[in-house]
Structures are given as C-alpha cells and as structure tokens.
Amino acid sequence: MKNRTKKYISAFVALMLSVPVFAQVPAPAQKQSKPILLKGATLHIGNGTVVENAAVGFDNGKITYAGPQNGAASLAEYEVVDVTGQHIYPGLIHSNSTLGLTEINSVRATIDVREVGEFNPNVRSVVAFNTDSDIIPTIRANGVLMTQVTPVGGTISGTSSIVQLDAWNWEDAVVKADEGIHLNWPNMLIETGSESPDASLSRMKEARKKTLDELSLLMRDAAVYNSSKHDKENLKLAALTGLFDGSKKLYIHANYGKEIIESINFAKEYGVKNVVIVGGGDALAVADFLKVNNIPVIYSGVHALPTRDEEDVDAPYKTPYLLHKAGLTFALDYDLSIHGIRNLPFIAGTAAAYGLDKEQALASVSLNAAKILGVDKQLGSVEVGKDATVVVSSGDLLDMRTNNVTLAFIQGRQIDLNNKQKYLYEKFDNKYKKQKEADVQAAPTTMKN
C-alpha cells in the first residue's frame, strides 16, 4: 500500500513539474544592494524641468544624483545602466483608488471596498489591501508605482493610505498610513424617478437634511472629544481628531458647484485644517472660491462625457488646462475602474493634447499628486534625497503609442515588469507565428512561367 502511494505521489510531482508555471504576480524585489547610475536618458524631473543627456544615481533606495550626465563623474563606484535615447520619469501616483480592495466584481469574496453603515471614519482601508492582486502588475507596467487606497460608500467611508505597488503585505506596502478621511457629500441634485415629483423631492430633501444633521452632530462631538480629556477611547471620534490639527486631510467627494461650496464652508465651520475636493466636475465654475480658500482638486473626469448639454464635447479634455490657467493645484485620477488605472499616464496625455504643457501634465500625476496627498518630500519628482521611485520608458510615457516601460524602480528596488497580460500576449503571438511558419512551409511551390 505504501509503495502504491509513493508511486501516485511521484507521478503527481512529475506531472506538476512538466506543466509550465507562470507566476501571475511576480515576487517583490529585494532591497537595493548596490548603487545604480542610469545614464544617457532625457530626464523629466516632474517639476517642469527637463534635462537632456542626463544621469540619475541612487543608493540605499534614495536618489543621490539627478542632473546632467557630465556631473556624475564622482559616482564611479556606481553600477552603470545605459539608457541612452530613453526617458526617465518619476513613478506615477494614482489618487483615489480601490486597487487591492476589489478584484472580481462578480465574486463577493474579492470585494472589500466598503463597510456597513453611513459613518465609518475609523475604518482603515489599508489593512484590506491585497498585495497579491493580479491587477497590480498590469498597472506597474505602464509606470504607475504608487496609489492611494480609498474606501467607498456611506457618508464617511473611512481612512485612506498611500502604498507602493511592490510588497509582500500591506505593512510593507505602506508609504503613509491613515492620511485622510473620505466624506461623500450628500447630493443636492435629486432624481425624482417614477413616483410623484413633489413626493419624491420632499422625501429626498428630508433624507438629505437628516444626513447633514447627523454629520454635524458627529463633527461637533469629535471637536469636543479632541479638546477634552476622556477615560475611554471612542474609535470613531478619535479617527476624526486629526482633521482639527492638520495631521489628516478631509477628502470631500463632490461634483456639483453648489455642493463644493457648501461642503467646504461646512469643513471650515468645524475647523478642519486641510480639505481636498475629489471629483470636482464643476471645479472650474467655482475656481475663484477654491483658489481663495487654497483648496486643491483631484479631478476625475478627463475621459468622461460633458455633464451639460451646452458644453463642448471636448470640455472634459480641456478642463485640466483651464484649471491650471485658473491657478489651482490639481491632480488627475482614473475613477472608471481599477483596471483602467493603467491608463493614468494617457489621461495626462489627453490633457497635454488639449492645452496643458506636457511637463505640467506629468506633474498632475506625479508631483502635484504627491503634494496633495502629503508625500511630496518623499515622492513625486526625481530629486536628490527623495525615494528612488523612477520609471524608464523607451518612448513618451504619456503617449499610448510610444509608452514602453523598460525599467522601473521602487525605493531603489528594480521591480519585475512581467504580468499576466504580457504572458498571454507572448503565448498567443508565438502560437500564431509558428502556425504561419508551418503554413508557409507546407504551401506548394509556385512554378514560374
């Protein structure tokens, strides 16, 4: 019996070894072990500056040099990587994302984006972040190396965190934990539906007023909790106290102009220090108000349809340029789907095609995003002292026709750019190439007259 069992085990092992194995999620890279110097490329720093024939050196995960190649002569002990003719960019940052919190929409067990209830400021999205998501490698391949993990649902969804996209677990991935609270401002625009318009409108107004009253009560309680001593910790109120001392940001998800103004005034009334508008569909219409109050915007609608019939069909494409012209600080995100996050550089590319300077467009998904998220001292640009989180592309990173990431580093670690989509492309490309070769060989020779 034992011999038969051993035979079965041996046969199973042999079968497994004979099947090609593809790791859909590559193992995280090891810590940088030797200094590296990228040389010969065009450097896009992320702050609007471009350096031709540049070099970027980094050691122990930090950038030690970024500038003209002839200024890197002192870095003789660095391992040189020749990237002549290519482009070096800061790793791109995606704001307002559920990446790692959901995988397959039709499988409930893979969805962890929201908690039950309306007010959940104490919910920490980062603890549910799945570093083994199959989607993450496909996003890194286009140059997106950081994201803000954001909960959804309810009035107060919870807290977001900034993570890097090459880690064994969420603890290793964290760049800045619990950096902001997300508030979904109640809609002013109400769809009445099929029931009596008057009855529906009245019911919706009552529900909105109730939500705002409950929100006001929660904020008052949090302010008192923050300014007084207490024997027992209240998790919800404790999570909100960072809003009053500026250690946390309040991300208000709002699109309609009046909602944006109302929500900001609400935050100011309760002494919230740092406010960010997310969505910002009407940000341009209230640009003066936003500028006076120094409110940045995470704009979500570049690849969306116009919201009003009278708007130009390309109005969303032009909005980033107009926001910049109005003097607002803004970042761009891609909120249609987690799979679409890989298109973040092309969102910026669209903005560049409709008036925004190319380097300003890059900043909208790098340095500006880092400033808004509060990690600009560490990320967002290729500058000495910052994390060596950089991308090398053989073409323009913001152009889908030429975007081709050849190298990527997170905190100095060279990450594996393979992913399931590349594997499948190569698999079937080879299949049909071989089939074509076989067909050519099998074809009869044509006699010449």
Q: Quick one: CA torsion of 349, 353, 359, 365, rounded to 10 degrees?
A: -30
pLDDT at 17 over 50: no
> Partners of 14 in the beta sheet?
none
Domain segments of the chain as ranges? 20-91+381-422, 92-379
CA distance 339 to 221: 39
pLDDT at 193: 59
Chain-centroid distance, C-alpha 361: 15
141 confidence band (pLDDT: 50, 70, 90): very high
CA distance 176 to 196: 49
- One fold for 20-91+381-422 and 92-379: no
pLDDT at 195: 57
**What integer is the mean pLDDT of 197-202?**
71
**What integer is the mean pLDDT of 366-370?**
97
Token pair listed for 154: 């309810």
Model confidence over 18-34: pLDDT tens digits? 444 444 678 999 999 99
Model confidence, pTM: 0.88
CATH number for the 20-91+381-422 domain, one of 3.30.1330.40, 2.30.40.10, 3.40.50.10610, 2.40.30.110?
Answer: 2.30.40.10
Model confidence over 393-439: pLDDT tens digits? 999 999 999 999 999 999 999 999 998 888 888 889 888 988 888 88
Model confidence over 82-125: pLDDT tens digits? 999 999 999 999 999 999 998 877 777 778 888 889 999 999 99
pLDDT at 170: 96
411 torsion bin: left (phi>0), alpha (psi -120 to 50), beta (else): left
The topology (CATH level 3) of 92-379 is: TIM Barrel (3.20.20)
- Helix/strand/coil for 413: strand
All residues at 6 or more sequence positions from 264 whose CB lies less than 8 Å from its CB, including other chains: 252, 275, 277, 289, 290, 293, 295
